[in-house]
Amino acid sequence: MSVNYDFTGKVALITGSSSGIGAATAQLFAKSGANVVVTGRNADRVAKVAKQCTDLSPKQLTALEVVGDLTNDKDCDRLIETTVQTFGKLDILVNNVGFVQKAYVTKDDYFQIFQNIMTTNLNSVVYLTHKCVEHLAKTNGNIINISSIMSKKATANGSSPYHISKASLDMFTKCMAAELGPKHHIRVNSVNPGAVVTNFLTNTGLPKAMADKIYETVGCKYPVGRVGQPQDIANTVAFLVSDTAAGFLTGSIVVADGGHLAANVSLDRQTQICLKQLN
């Protein structure tokens, strides 16, 4: 049974919304009546998703397009200012932007890669949250951080910077829930996906055929019998934002992983070797 949410009158800003989970989330909010802000670094992809959101909107509300790099504080400021100037308020902040780059600690450029990942996956979230509080406090708003099950499970495959960034993000979620709830009436939660079919793996340099093989291999091991789709995570975000459905949830780390952690799923040896060759 599908669940229909009504976010009419809400303003939702979703970072990294030009593809994948972010795009699916923006589309779901638009379909549910919200004004949405689509943002990313690629203008063509931002425009494409924004049009899809407008087409899905019951009242054909025009999605706001903002192109920018969230590792740049000025771009973050412009994103927030443009959102509030256009819609007059902000109700929902979904911090979805993030990426992974493989690096073993013995690599010469390990620390630079670590800094790059932390700047995108954590620092941009902290900065945007810091800047958005004054607006979200006026609307008793919601913050959703898109984390990962890799915040909870260590690997030896050269992903330590990514693991660390997401573990830090989970703690930031909890701290902000405790800090922003009593005085500002803002709920803050995290969604931690397992494997989801996006361009996440191919962005690391992995050939699409190998990425598809990994999704197939992992999906067979998941208790639900498949890997996730972006819509699965978008549905979880919408649930958490709904005051009717989840008004008592804040500071929660909501795992949406198809049973990955429960079943202790791991990659087969051949897939691990292929991944290691990227380094």
pLDDT at 244 over 70: yes
**Distant-in-sequence, close-in-space partners of 183: CB < 8 Å, separation ≥ 6:** none
Residue range 18-71, pLDDT digits in tens: 999 999 999 999 999 999 999 999 999 999 999 999 999 999 999 999 999 999
Which of the two residues, 1 and 168, has the higher pLDDT score?
A: 168
Return the pLDDT at 245: 97
Beta-bridged to residue 94, according to DSSP, are 14, 144
Return the pLDDT at 206: 78
Of the candidates 200, 204, 217, the one whose C-alpha atom is nearest the C-alpha of residue 269 is 217
Return the pLDDT at 243: 96
Other CB atoms closer than 10 Å to residue 110's CB: what's the count? 15
Q: Write down the mean pLDDT value for the chain.
A: 93
Domain residue limits, the chain: 11-198+229-259
Return the pLDDT at 111: 98
110-118 and 160-184 helices, crossing angle to 10°:
30
Report the catalytic residues: 162
pLDDT at 274 over 90: no
Cα end-to-end distance, the chain, whole Å = 44
Strands (E) across the chain are located at 11-14, 35-40, 64-67, 92-95, 142-146, 187-193, 253-256
Instruction: Report angle CA 164, 168, 172 to the nearest 5 degrees.
Output: 170
pLDDT confidence bin for 6, thresholds 50/70/90? very high
**Distant-in-sequence, close-in-space partners of 111: CB < 8 Å, separation ≥ 6:** none
- pTM summary value: 0.93
Mode of pairing for the β-strands spanning 11-14 and 253-256: unpaired
Lowest mean pLDDT among 21-35, 99-113, 208-222: 208-222
pLDDT at 279 over 80: no
Q: With respect to CATH, is domain 11-198+229-259 assigned 3.30.465.10?
A: no
pLDDT at 204 over 80: no
Return the pLDDT at 149: 97
Residue range 109-153, pLDDT digits in tens: 999 999 999 999 999 999 999 999 999 999 999 999 999 999 999
